[in-house]
Structure formats: C-alpha cells, structure tokens
Structure 1
Amino acid sequence: MTHTLQHEIKDGIAIIRFNRPDVFNSFNREMALGFQELLDQCGQNDKVRAIYLTGNGKAFCAGQDLAEVTASDAPFIENIVAEHYNPIVRRIREIEKPIICAVNGVAAGAGANLALACDIVVATETASFIQAFSKIGLIPDSGGTFFLPKLIGFQKASALMMMGDKVSATDAEKMGMIYKVFSTEEFDEESMKIAQTISKMPTLGLVYTKKLLNTGMTNNLKEQLDQEEIYQSKAGKTVDYNEGVQAFLEKRKPKFVGK
C-alpha cells in the first residue's frame, strides 16, 4: 500500500490515516487512488465493522495538492475530479460500513467535503473547515454542493462557499455541520470510542440506515416510506435483531455479531 496512507485493522475497526503531513495531507494522484483501493478492501473484508478516518500531523486534509496541478505534466482538472474525488465520495456513501471521520486539524477544500460525506464527523477543538475553492476561482467539488446545504441550510452554505470563510470546529458543531467537538487532550480517545461503539453495534442495521439516508436525500415521502418498509423487513431477518430482542427480554447486554 502507498506510503501516503497508513492502515490497520484493530478490533473490527479499519483505521485509515492520511499520511502526507509535510503538505497538510493534501491529495495527489497516488493518495487518491490508494484511498479508493483501501475503501474497496475495507468494504470486502467481513472483519471490518467500522472505518475510522483521520490524518497524521497538524492537518486532516488540505484538499488538492496544488503542486500536482501546476506541474509540467499536470493532469487536467476534470480528470482529477472524475478519477480522484468523485469515486472517493461514491465509495464513502456506498460502502456497507459506517465511517467515522475524526478531523484532527484543518479540513479545506476537497478535504472538508470528503469529511462531510462521512457518516459521523467529529473534530478536535483546534480543527477548522474551509470551502477554499472560491479563493482560486473554482467551485466546491467532492459533493460539497450536495451535502453542505443539507447539513446547514442553503443560505449559510451559499455564503461559506462564496466567501471561503474559515469555520471553527465549535461553530461547525453549533450549525449542525458535524456531530461533536472534543478537546485536544480528549480527541484521540473520545473519537476512537465512537468507532469502538459503532463497531460493536448491529452492523447490517447501520448499513441499512446508511442506505436509507442516501435515498432520503432525493426521495419523496412515499418513496422513502416504501424503502423503509423494505429495509425494516431485511433488518428483521438479521441475526443481530434476534439477539437484540432476546437480550432485551432476558435483561442482559446484547452480543452483536454484525450479521
């Protein structure tokens, strides 16, 4: 696996770390393609019940490495979007595993929007989120124009995208952009606790919830109720559902197996 990423599986959690700290974990082609490959591997690995995504160093991800796009052999920007970021966002939303994104520092441009595409986003108190695209005449890609307005509302998202304001982790939590903020001292432990909790929950139920959240982005009420009916039926046939009911009746802690 590429040195631009670090990866390990521990207690059912696939831990992925962006590993280009010298350039604030900005994406080049190697890292983008390697990240896609890692997500595919996690999706196919039955031992993985949750994914924990974070960055090494002071930043989470500063978006695109501009050194790559200004090089003499630079790829076309449309190729970067089509081959790097769009496939990553699709994998994040389609992978049948919950993804906890632990934003350890600045998340800018594509780095911010890839984080917001994840299922649960937490941040350290010193982190920040920046829609940096307008500063260089680009549009917010990596699903930004889709996810951000749904998270914080049209007006706020429009202003942040056009103004390119830096949003502190605390403000991001207040406006509903992310789930929680932790102090610097607590961040690693508390964010990992979320991944540990998620990894021990009924995995298929969480996967079905993720699928419904995806369809709920565009469905009308009737369509979404129909989908809920389908997936509730699927959930009711899982091993973990039976275990959850039995544990409730027997007044004990359930032992979910992810099936």
Structure 2
Amino acid sequence: MSDYETITFDVKDGIATLAFNRPKYRNAISLQMREELPPVIKRVSTDSDIRTLIITGNGGSFCAGGDIKDMGSVTSVDVGRNRMRATGTLLQAVASIDKPVIAAVDGPAYGAGFGWAMLADFVLATPRAGFCASFGKLGLAPDFGLHYTLPRLVGLARAKDLIFSAREVKADEALEMGLVYRVVEADKIMDVAQDMAQAFCNASPTAIGVSKMLLDQTFGMDIRQIGEAEATNQAVCFVSDYHAEAAKRFLNKEPFKFKWPL
C-alpha cells in the first residue's frame, strides 16, 4: 500500500483502489489531499498493469466535498482561479482514464465528492449514501465536472433541480434517477465492487478503452463522426491479441474469459 496521509492507494491483481482517508472530517478534500491525488491518478492512467480503478472513502463517508476551513485561504479572485484551475486539471485527468472506474459510495458524497462519484462509469451506493450538490448552501457554483456529468446522466431539468436546490438525494432516488448503478448493503459493497473490477480485468483493455473515450464524446458528435470513429476503433480491436484469443476460444467452443458477475 502506498504511503499517503489523506488517501490510501493500493494495487493488487490489476485492480487499483483509491480511498479518501480523512474520516474524522468525512473525507473532505484538504489542500494536502489535492497534492496527493494527481500522482495517483497519473499512475492509474499510465500503468498498463492497472486494468480498473475503485474509488471509495474510509470510515463510513465517501467524500463531503472541499474542506471549508481551507476555503478561507482564498483571498483573491486570482488565488481562487488558480486553485480551481488545478482542480480542473485533476478533473480532466480523472475523466481521461480509459479504464473502467467504479465508485463505491457509503455515506455522504457532497460537493466535489458528488463530482468524483459522477465521473465513475459505475456507481455503487449503500442505503445510507447521500448525494448532494451542496455548493449553493455556501453561495458557490458546482465544480469537479457536475455541470458536465449531471445533464448527461439525468437530463437538464433534473440537473437544475439538483444544483439549484442543493438538496440531498438518497440512494433509492439516485438509483431511480440514473445516478447510481446498484444499491448494495454496506457490508457487501466492496465485495461487489471487487467482483466487477475483477471481471474487467478479464475484458479487452483496448475495446473498453476506445469505447469509453468515444462514449464520453458522443453528445458532441453527429452520426457520421461516430461512424468514422467506430470504424477506427473496430480496426484497432480487430488486430489486438485479445480479439485473436477470444475468436479462437469461440471457434474451439471454449468459454470466453470475460463474464459479467451481476
């Protein structure tokens, strides 16, 4: 396990697990955490041995957003913009991970913590999970990509509801809205996340990677552009070692390596 103070990070059998680790403060994002997160995200993105990422929080909270105590250090517009530009760089790095990202959310996912969860490809939540774009309560505007992710996940009207009202959405409503993939009991959530992650370790990293990148761009493309991108993606997949092995397994009537566990 890597040596950090505000997060824990572990890689085992192709699965990286990143946990926010300030449970006394409901895993609020401190200035130190902002420094510790970028190298971890860079490693996940660039290490070919890492096949999938699980993001969670320690101590019964996912992430309560930015640490309000640190907000007092923003003494000018320039200081605030520079800090948030660094946040934007981290946001883009997380969004650019071309591997499956699973968020296991227990307890509050507020503010930027909500943003982190919504960047995941699959969000698992316990019954006590709560999602809240809490920025409005502090007279702030959302960050960490919520203006991008929420309209795509739940539509513009519901995105406005969540952002303008700053209300908490519990797990069942989040599931109904499409924010959450599955609601899982707290004592089972990491087991389910691990099972999903292990399945992705047996999937084609090439096929998953190119599909994820194209899906993230699809609302800005027309059908012709998507068709051209699909042709390129498929050509790349056709010549991958994974496809060759999978085709051989099919022809020999052997089971595929990839099997979804749920």
Scaled to the shorter chain, the TM-score interval is over 0.9
Q: Offset of 1:114 from its aligned partner?
A: 1.5
Match of 1:227 in 2: 229
Matched, 1:41 2:58: no
Check whether the contact 1:243–1:254 (CA below 8 A) recurs between aligned residues: no
Aligned equivalents of 2:69, 2:257: Cα separation in 1 = 49
SS of equivalent residue, structure 1 residue 60: coil
Q: Specify which of 27, 32, 36 is matched with residue 29 of structure 2.
A: 27
Aligned equivalents of 1:183, 1:2: Cα separation in 2 = 28
What whole-Å deviation, never above 9, does each CA across 1:13-56 have from its counterpart, x for those lacking one? 01111111111111122212211110111222221111111110
Q: Specify which of 160, 163, 182 is matched with residue 162 of structure 2.
A: 160
Q: Offset of 1:163 from its aligned partner?
A: 0.4
What whole-Å deviation, never above 9, does each CA across 1:57-95 have from its counterpart, x for those lacking one? 1210111001111248799332221112x1222112212
Q: How does 1:1-259 map to 2 (within 5 A)?
A: 1-71=3-73, 76-84=79-87, 86-255=88-257
What is the identity, as a one-letter code, of the residue corresponding to 2:155?
G
Q: Offset of 1:211 from its aligned partner?
A: 0.8
Check whether the contact 2:74–2:80 (CA below 8 A) recurs between aligned residues: no
Aligned equivalents of 1:115, 1:55: Cα separation in 2 = 11
- Identical residues among aligned pairs (%): 29
Structure 1 length normalisation: TM-score? 0.93
SS of equivalent residue, structure 1 residue 195: helix
Structure 2 length normalisation: TM-score? 0.92
What is the identity, as a one-letter code, of the residue corresponding to 2:79?
F
Unmatched runs of 5 consecutive residues or more in structure 2: none
Check whether the contact 2:102–2:121 (CA below 8 A) recurs between aligned residues: yes
Unmatched runs of 5 consecutive residues or more in structure 1: none
Q: Offset of 1:5 from its aligned partner?
A: 1.0
Aligned equivalents of 1:42, 1:197: Cα separation in 2 = 17
Q: CA RMSD in A?
A: 1.7
Aligned residue pairs: how many? Answer: 255
